[in-house]
């Protein structure tokens, strides 16, 4: 379960994005009539002549969208909490931003083979959804598409898809080099694909079950912005010596993390990287010349022992910010 503070922060993020997007997206005050060229099993659908589903006025728990629809417009099903099942047509090509945002009882998402694009927060806060199936045609998956799907367990991808793959229920790029999204309701221990070279921003956001993460092989790996944000039970990262980049806020609110090693390969640490890591006690820094962001230990309540070369950049940082840091 998300705590109230986290829920508020996710809601604020969603609302900020929604405000920015809706300011540039027009909703018709009086929507056009349903196109006669698109016969519908749902008389409550408003579809224009270009095949764009503009709005939905029904109240059914099971919705079947007719063939001929090519696009689901911005926010069409937003906050429709009664929808438990939806069948998307094979003709569908685009799912716009916020299309199904906060459909909180939607149980499963099946993306048809001709869908090429899924928008920002398109399925955000669909908190009952446990499985997502992605078809062979998906090319673009915008950020936060599935943010807040806190019971999501598994993402699978059609084998013919040239852009994405799935491994152990986790979404990757086709060659497994970039980890895109880990389902929030993942298991306690995970091993990344051996080809993994980067972990995308927010990839593990809210994976509260995760305690240990491993990686086979010797390839270096980059961790991008807020990649492990709110992984409150994460304790062990056994590929620390393979990491070459750590983005801003990468481990924000990882409150169970007690120790961390910054290996020789790391060239940069972003701002607020350990923000709110309230149990953090020990940092070992093997990298000597390191680009360091601002407030990397902000809101870390413990005294932190930093083991590093006394001539290193991290040693100079500790000397300037010694409030809760001890250089050894």
**What is residue 2's predicted lDDT score, i.e. its pLDDT?**
40
Tens of pLDDT, residue by residue over 139-169, are: 999 999 999 999 999 999 999 999 999 999 9
Whether the pLDDT of residue 48 is over 60: the answer is: yes
User: 198-222 b/e with 16+ CB inside 10 Å = b?
Assistant: bbbbbbbbbbbbbbebebeeeeebb
Residues 11 and 155 in one domain: yes
Asked if residue 168 belongs to a domain, the reply is no
Asked if residue 167 belongs to a domain, the reply is no
Q: Identify each DSSP E strand in 76-174 by its residue range.
A: 85-87, 94-95, 108-110, 117-118, 131-134, 140-141, 154-157, 164-167, 170-173
DSSP assignments along 48-94, one per residue:
-TTSEEEEE----SEEEPPTT--EE-TTTTTT-TT--EEE--TT--E
**What is residue 182's predicted lDDT score, i.e. its pLDDT?**
98
Q: For residue 139, what is the domain's CATH number?
A: 3.80.10.10
Asked if residue 236 belongs to a domain, the reply is yes
Residues 228 and 143 in one domain: no
Whether the pLDDT of residue 25 is over 50: the answer is: no
- In terms of Cβ atoms closer than 10 Å to its own Cβ (0-12, 13-18, 19+), residue 41 is exposed
Single out the residue of 63, 206, 225 nearest to residue 127, CA to CA. Answer: 206
| C-alpha separations of 206 from 7, 27, 118, 252 in Å | 10, 32, 21, 11
Q: Which pTM was predicted?
A: 0.87
Residues 157 and 202 in one domain: no
Residues 122 and 180 in one domain: no
Q: Last residue of some domain: 131, 162, 193?
A: 162
Q: Last residue of some domain: 129, 162, 195?
A: 162
Whether the pLDDT of residue 28 is over 90: the answer is: no
**What is residue 43's predicted lDDT score, i.e. its pLDDT?**
63
Residues 239 and 259 in one domain: yes
How does residue 217 score in pLDDT terms, banded at 50, 70 and 90? confident
Asked if residue 245 belongs to a domain, the reply is yes
> Are 206 and 2 spatial neighbours (Cβ–Cβ below 8 Å)?
yes
Report, as an integer, the average pLDDT of 261-282: 96
Report, as an integer, the average pLDDT of 48-67: 96
* CA distance linking residue 242 with residue 185, whole number of Å: 26
**What is residue 239's predicted lDDT score, i.e. its pLDDT?**
95
Tens of pLDDT, residue by residue over 174-200, are: 999 999 999 999 999 999 999 999 999
Residues 152 and 273 in one domain: no
**What is residue 303's predicted lDDT score, i.e. its pLDDT?**
87
Q: What percent of the chain has pLDDT over 90?
A: 81
How does residue 60 score in pLDDT terms, banded at 50, 70 and 90? very high
Name the domain count of the chain. Answer: 2
Residues 8 and 157 in one domain: yes
How does residue 38 score in pLDDT terms, banded at 50, 70 and 90? very low
Residues 252 and 282 in one domain: yes
**What is residue 267's predicted lDDT score, i.e. its pLDDT?**
95
Asked if residue 66 belongs to a domain, the reply is yes
- In terms of Cβ atoms closer than 10 Å to its own Cβ (0-12, 13-18, 19+), residue 13 is middle
How does residue 33 score in pLDDT terms, banded at 50, 70 and 90? very low
Residues 56 and 2 in one domain: yes
Asked if residue 169 belongs to a domain, the reply is no
**Longest Cα–Cα distance in the chain:** 76
**What is residue 226's predicted lDDT score, i.e. its pLDDT?**
98
Q: Last residue of some domain: 162, 196, 215?
A: 162
Residues 107 and 208 in one domain: no
Report, as an integer, the average pLDDT of 3-22: 54
pLDDT mean across residues, the chain: 90
| Chain centre distance of CA 317 | 31
Whether the pLDDT of residue 41 is over 80: the answer is: no
Ranges 74-78, 162-166, 316-320: which has the least confidence: 316-320
**What is residue 9's predicted lDDT score, i.e. its pLDDT?**
54
* CA distance linking residue 321 with residue 297, whole number of Å: 9
Residues 203 and 67 in one domain: no
DSSP assignments along 230-271, one per residue:
T-TT--EETTGGGEEEE-TTTTTT-TT--EEEE-TT--EE-T
Asked if residue 38 belongs to a domain, the reply is yes
Asked if residue 183 belongs to a domain, the reply is yes
Single out the residue of 17, 28, 35 nearest to residue 55, CA to CA. Answer: 28
Domain boundaries, position 285: 174-328
Residues 325 and 288 in one domain: yes
Higher pLDDT, 74 or 21: 74
How does residue 27 score in pLDDT terms, banded at 50, 70 and 90? very low
Single out the residue of 210, 217, 255, 208 nearest to residue 237, CA to CA. Answer: 210
């Amino acid at each position: 379960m998300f705590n109230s503070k986290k829920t508020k922060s996710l809601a604020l993020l969603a609302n900020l994005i929604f405000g920015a997007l809706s300011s540039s997206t027009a909703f018709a005050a009086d929507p056009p009539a349903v196109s006669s060229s698109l016969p519908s099993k749902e008389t409550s659908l408003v579809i224009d002549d270009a095949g764009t589903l503009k709005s939905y006025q029904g109240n059914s728990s099971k919705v079947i969208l007719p063939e001929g629809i090519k696009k689901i417009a911005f926010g069409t099903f937003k906050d429709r909490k009664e929808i438990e099942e939806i069948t998307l047509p094979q003709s569908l090509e685009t799912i716009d931003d916020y299309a199904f945002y906060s459909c909180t009882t939607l149980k499963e998402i099946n993306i048809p083979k001709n869908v090429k694009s899924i928008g920002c927060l398109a399925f955000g806060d669909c908190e009952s959804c446990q499985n997502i199936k992605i078809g062979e045609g998906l090319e673009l998956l915008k950020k936060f598409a599935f943010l807040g799907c806190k019971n999501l367990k598994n993402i699978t991808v059609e084998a013919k898809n040239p852009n994405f793959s799935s491994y152990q229920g986790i979404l990757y790029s086709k060659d497994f080099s970039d980890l895109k999204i880990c389902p929030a309701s993942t298991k306690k221990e995970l091993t990344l694909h051996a080809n993994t070279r980067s972990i995308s921003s927010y990839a593990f956001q809210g994976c509260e079950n995760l305690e240990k993460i491993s990686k086979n092989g010797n390839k270096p790996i980059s961790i991008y912005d807020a990649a492990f944000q709110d992984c409150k039970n994460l304790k062990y990262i056994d590929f620390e010596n393979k990491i070459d980049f750590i983005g801003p806020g990468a481990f924000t609110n990882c409150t169970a993390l007690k120790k961390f090693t910054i290996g020789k390969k790391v060239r940069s640490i972003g701002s607020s990287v350990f923000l709110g890591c309230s149990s953090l006690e020990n940092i070992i820094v093997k990298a000597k010349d390191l680009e360091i962001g601002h407030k990397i230990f902000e809101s870390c309540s413990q005294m932190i022992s930093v083991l590093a070369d006394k001539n290193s950049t991290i040693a100079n940082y500790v000397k300037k910010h010694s409030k809760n840091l001890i250089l050894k």
